[in-house]
Every structure is written in C-alpha cells, then in structure tokens.
Amino acid sequence: MLIDKKSKEVFDNFIKLLERNGDLKKAKEIIQLAEKLYLKKVGSKKVTLESARKINSKDILKKILKEGDFWEEKINTDLIAGIKVIVDGEKQLNYSLKSKLDKIFSHRYE
C-alpha cells in the first residue's frame, strides 16, 4: 500500500509520541484500538475469512463486504474444510467441518 506524504508524517509523529511517553510496548494494543475506533467512526467493518486451504474467495467476499470494508484472508488448517468468517473480531460464522464434527460428537450446552 502506498502511503502519501501526509499520512507518513502523521504516522511518524504518532510513533514519536509513543516513544516519548514510553508507550511503545503497548503499541499493538493502541493500534488495534485506533483501528476499532476508526472503523466505528466510518461505519465499516473488518472481515477475516479463514479457510483450510487457499480458495477463491471473491464470490464469498462479494456477498459479505460493503464498500469501505476491510478484509483479510487467513489459512487455518485446523478447520479441515469449509470456512470461518470473523467480523471485527467479535462475531463469527463457523462453516467449518471441524465445528460440525465437534457438534456431532460432543454434548450440547443447553
């Protein structure tokens, strides 16, 4: 991703601020929170698509994503087959074979 000059300046200043306040250790959390706040402000979401192997995800993403949404793809072999969609790290839709098998063989929580 290309970063324009203004954004670069903002980032540099931000890093400097963190360094000055001794908050560099918490940078990861701060960036996550900033991302969360930004998404909330803009009104879009971040979608993570997990699958057991590389798949053609265009069709699926087309159905889920709106304009301005961010997305990321991950390979998670634990799923065995199928996909798992995670939105904003708070909601998930588990379409994997692993969860199906787990549900068949384990006791339901009720």
Partner 1 sequence: MRIRIFVNSHYICNWHHIMSQEIIEKLKQQIEGYKEKPEWEEIGKIIEVGDGIVKISGLSNCQSQEVLVIESEKGEVRAVALNLEEDSVGALVLGRDARSAREAGDPVLESSLIKSGQTVKRTLRHSSGQANILSIPVGGQLLGRVVDPLGNALDGKGPIFSERDKPAIQFLESTAPNVLARESVNQPIHTGIKAIDSMIPIGRGQRELVIGDRQTGKTAIALDMIINQGKERQSSSAKPPSHKATEGQRASEGRGNPVVCIYVAIGQKESKIAKIVETLKNNNALDYTIVVSASASSPAAFWYLAPFAGCAIGEYFRDKGKDALIIYDDLSKHAWAYRQISLLLRRPPGREAYPGDIFYLHSRLLERAAKLNKENGGGSLTAIPIIETQLGDVTAYIPTNVISITDGQIYLESDLFYQGTRPAVNVGLSVSRVGGAAQTKAMKKVAGKLRLQLAQFRELQTFVQFASDVDQETREKIHKGRIVSEVLKQTDLAPMPFEEQVLVLYAALNGYFDKFQPEEIQKVEAKFLEYVKDLHEDILDLLKEKRDITEEVESKIKSVIYKFIENM
Binding site for partner 1 (CB under 8 A): 33, 86, 89-95, 99-100, 102-104, 106-110
Between residues 21 and 106, which has the closer beta carbon with respect to partner 1? 106
| Total residues belonging to the chain | 110
Query: Could you give the CA distance from residue 41 to residue 39 in angstroms, rounded to a whole number?
Result: 5
Between residues 15 and 81, which has the closer beta carbon with respect to partner 1? 81
Whether the CB-CB separation of 28 and 15 falls below 8 Å is answered with no
Query: Could you give the CA distance from residue 107 to residue 110 in angstroms, rounded to a whole number?
Result: 9
Q: Rounded to the nearest whole angstrom, what is the least distance from the CB of residue 55 to partner 1 in the complex?
A: 17
Between residues 54 and 91, which has the closer beta carbon with respect to partner 1? 91
